[in-house]
Structure formats: structure tokens, C-alpha cells
Structure 1
Amino acid sequence: WDYTWLADVGEGKHTLTVEATDKAGNQTTQKLDFIIDTLLSEPTIVLDSTDDSGTKGDNLTNANKPTFILGNIDADARYVTVEVQYGGTKEVLTATKGATGIWSVTPTGTWADGDYTLTVR
């Protein structure tokens, strides 16, 4: 058996109920709860306060291996990557989710002085 939805099923929680009846009139029912989640929140990224050596919030640091805190990450996110661009090169870092549920990323190697552009993916 198959079923084609008559219309698009929207975001959120849904219950699908299947009822079967045989020739003798015996019936059985099975329910399936499911969630449709196609939207992602827009993430944020900030320099960890322990590495923010300039004026708070100015995105300047003297740490050559700074940690960045990612915010507004959906609870059901399986992985988060951060793309780093510097001097014509691109590196992709994988963020980690800490025990408190906070996502962060730290470069694997040290960074040279300069301007870096970070994009959460």
C-alpha cells in the first residue's frame, strides 16, 4: 500500500493513523507520531570571552588559537561546521557540543595575525 498526501504537510508535529480491515470485518489500527522540521534557526558566532583580549565585543584577540561560541543552534542539530577564510585560503572546522549543550569551535592550529572571516554552516 502507499498513500499520496493530498496537500503539503506543514512544519510541526503530526500523527498518521492507519486502519486496516479484513474481509471478515476484523480491524486493527496503528499510529505513528512524526515531526516535520525543515527550518533552521540563524546561528550566531562570538569570540569566547576568555579569548576576547581587546574591548569586549570588538572581535579582536591576541590569542593565536581562539575559541568561538556558537549560539542559536537548533537542539536537533547533528553537526555544525565553521568555514574560516583568511588570505585567500579556506578551512572548514567542525564544532563540538559541550556537556552544557553549548557549541564551540577552536582552530586545530595556530593562526597568524590578520583578518579572518568565519561563517557557520
Structure 2
Amino acid sequence: MSAIDSAPTSEDSLEARLAAPDEETVAALEQLDGDIVILGAGGKMGPTVARMARRALHDRTRRVIAVSRFSDAAAAAQLETDGVEVIRADLADPRAVALLPFAPNVVWMAGQKFGTTGDPVGTWT
């Protein structure tokens, strides 16, 4: 089968393929102790990474926690359906950050890609 024959035929099939962990990812995540928190999980790649982490962890007592403002309510709802714990929080708010659960494994995906012209500090906060 050629790469073209096996190409995803829809956005859903592409997402399913991207969120499917390979054996190496499963092995790597299984070696981690504790929960995984993904900060900025509501962006372009965050939901896919969170979904992949959840699928890679066979131990369902370990949580995958997606933290974001989640301007896309449907993305947050789908993550919850997929077994990812969703926390709506603004990472620029120290009080919100202080309330986040402890997790020994943190993935930082937060950032602002668009709309920072004239406000470069917004890119990094």
C-alpha cells in the first residue's frame, strides 16, 4: 500500500491517526510515575497530545489532565469523552495556577501564536 492509498480521508481520520501512540510512546509513558498535566492543552496540538497520552497509559488510575482556557468548548468536551480530565484555567492568572493539581509530569504547550502585534509580551505569557 502506498502512502497515498493510506492517507487519511477526513479530519477525524487524521486526528485518530495522530493521536494513536506508537509502541515507543506507550513504553516511555508507562515508565513515568504519576499523573501527566498538559498546560495549554486547548491549542492546535494540545488535544491530540492529551488524547495520545491517555491512550498510551493503560493504567487508568493515572490521570491525564488538560489545562487551558478552552475557547473551543467542543474540544474540551471531546477530551472529557476520551477520558482526559479537563481544567479550565487561565495560566496568566497566578491564583488559577495555584489551584492546579500537582503532577510530576508536565508538558508545556501554552503560548499565543496570533494577535500579538504591538504586544510581544503576550506571546510569552
Query: What TM-score do you get using the length of structure 1 for normalisation?
Result: 0.22
Bigger radius of gyration: 1
- Which structure ranks higher in relative contact order (CA pairs < 8 Å, sequence separation ≥ 6)? 2
- Considering fraction of residues, name the structure with more helix: 2
- Considering fraction of residues, name the structure with more strand: 1
